[in-house]
Amino acid sequence: MDYWKYSLLTDPDTAQVLLAYLSDAPFDTFEETEIGLDAYLPAKASKAEADHLLEELSQQFPFTIELTFLPAQNWNEIWESNFKPVVVGNFCAVRADFHPPQPDVKWELVINPKMAFGTGHHETTWQCIAAMEHLPLAGAHVLDYGCGTGILAILASKLGAADVEAVDIEEESWRNTVENSAVNDVHNVTARCGTLNDVQGHDFDGILANINRNVILDSLPRLAQLTRPGGWLLVSGILAEDETIVVETARQAGFEKKKQTQRGNWLCVEFFRG
């Protein structure tokens, strides 16, 4: 597949804010860099829509754009040159299949990301992994909403979940989740390409939702319907400045905040349903 690469040159704080705004746009992959943020747009997607959104954002935030056309190529080679293993304490390590095994961790995941989001590098995914060490996953019925590479669904399975349903609107994410589940010898993750309306399960013991603020806000009522009373919801992809609106909207949907962590400007919040 051909891509347009938008290199947004800005400071780290602005890059994180832009990532939050662009998550709903037709871009399907992001990579934070030392000089800003790279956003990848499939050539078949609406470039006009992406350009219009970036024009609006340029009126609010300081950044410049360098645009590059990338013809279809071996994305694995690109990721191999940039993707380094991620270690979350002694709990979990995430690596690609071309990395050597990581010693001295309880769990090791092999994630070959291709063009799907979720390698553990970003603050949101890192915090979700860290939080999962303390979640009641043994025997749990779990939903991974916005599964990306399948990293959280696979970890949930490794931690003893009875079954995991994983859903993502992007076909590449669905395919990547299936492939990574097989690589990790995980057989109780059912991946679907679609929205919450395509989820087949109900009365989930827990839901993982590492997406973005707008999708989370819109989805909270439905997520509450899908969570059994006493169940939990772990959300990330939220900027610190959005804490109040997310927590209040969750409360209105039937969730109460239990725990919260922050890494950089990003939050990870654990809720329970009364």
- Tell whether 67 and 152 lie within a shared domain: no
Q: Are residues 33 and 166 in the same domain?
A: no
Tell me if 65 sits within 8 A of 54, measured CB to CB: yes
Burial of 79 by CB count in 10 Å (0-12 exposed, 13-18 middle, 19+ buried)?
middle
pLDDT of residue 253: 97
> Does residue 142 lie in a domain region?
yes
Are residue 165 and residue 237 in the same domain, yes or no?
yes
Q: Which of 36-40, 117-121, 187-191 has the highest mean pLDDT?
A: 187-191
pLDDT, residue 116, reads 47
Of 43, 58, 73, which residue sits at a domain end? 73
Is 252 within 8 Å of 225 (Cβ atoms)? Answer: no
Q: What pLDDT score does 81 carry?
A: 61
Q: For 217-247, what is each residue's pLDDT tens digit? A: 999 999 999 999 999 999 998 888 899 999 9
Residue 74 — very low, low, confident or very high, per pLDDT cuts 50/70/90? low
Q: Would residue 97 count as lying in a domain?
A: no
pLDDT of residue 115: 53
Strand ranges across the sheet with 163-168: 189-193, 163-168, 141-145, 204-210, 227-239, 266-273, 255-263
Is the Cβ–Cβ distance between 134 and 149 less than 8 Å? no
Instruction: Select the more confidently predicted residue: 189 or 263.
Output: 189
Instruction: Note whether 47 and 126 are same-domain residues.
Output: no
DSSP string over the chain: --EEEEEEE--HHHHHHHHHHHTTSS--EEEEETTEEEEEEETTS-HHHHHHHHHHHHTTS--EEEEEEE-S--HHHHHHHH---EEETTTEEEE-TTSPPPPS-SEEEE---TTSS-SS-SHHHHHHHHHHTTS--TT-EEEEES-TTSHHHHHHHHTT-SEEEEEES-HHHHHHHHHHHHHTT--SEEEEES-GGG----SEEEEEEES-HHHHHHHHHHHHHHEEEEEEEEEEEEEGGGHHHHHHHHHHHTEEEEEEEEETTEEEEEEEE-
Residues 159 and 244 in one domain: yes
Range of the domain at 208: 122-273
80 within some domain: no
Domain co-membership, 134 together with 68: no
- CATH number, domain with residue 185: 3.40.50.150
Give the domain-ending residue among 15, 49, 73: 73
Q: Is the dihedral of CA 157, 122, 2, 99 positive or negative?
A: negative
> Residue 164 and residue 142: Cα distance in Å, rounded?
5
**pLDDT confidence of 2, banded at 50, 70, 90?**
confident
Identify the domain boundary among 38, 55, 73: 73
In the prediction, which pLDDT does 27 show? 84
Mean per-residue pLDDT of the chain? 89
Highest mean pLDDT among 11-20, 44-53, 146-155: 146-155
Together in a domain, 162 and 242: yes
Q: Which of 20-24, 173-177, 186-190 shows the lowest mean pLDDT across its residues?
A: 20-24
- Report which of residues 202 and 29 the model is more confident about: 202
pLDDT of residue 189: 98
Tell me the β-bridge partners of 66.
7
What percent of the chain stands above pLDDT 90?
60
- Which pLDDT score, from 0 to 100, does residue 127 have? 94
Question: Is 198 in the same domain as 265?
Answer: yes
| Residues 62 and 126 placed together within one structural domain of the fold | no
Total structural domains within the chain: 2
Same domain, 268 and 161: yes
238 falls within a domain: yes
Residue 135 sits in the same domain as residue 267: yes
* Domain annotation covers residue 54: yes
Within-domain flag for 103: no
Classify residue 168: in a domain, yes or no. yes
Single pTM value for the model = 0.79
Q: Per-residue confidence at 112, pLDDT binned at 50, 70, 90?
A: confident
Check whether residue 50 and residue 134 sit in a common domain: no
Per-residue model confidence as pLDDT tens digits over 145-187: 999 889 999 999 999 999 999 999 888 889 989 999 999 999 9
Q: Quick one: pLDDT at residue 26? A: 82
Please check whether residue 151 lies inside any domain of the structure.
yes
In this structure, what CATH number is given to the domain that contains residue 61? 3.30.70
At residue 97, does pLDDT exceed 50? yes
SS3 of 194-263: the string is CCHHHCCCCCEEEEEEECCHHHHHHHHHHHHHHEEEEEEEEEEEEEHHHHHHHHHHHHHHCEEEEEEEEE
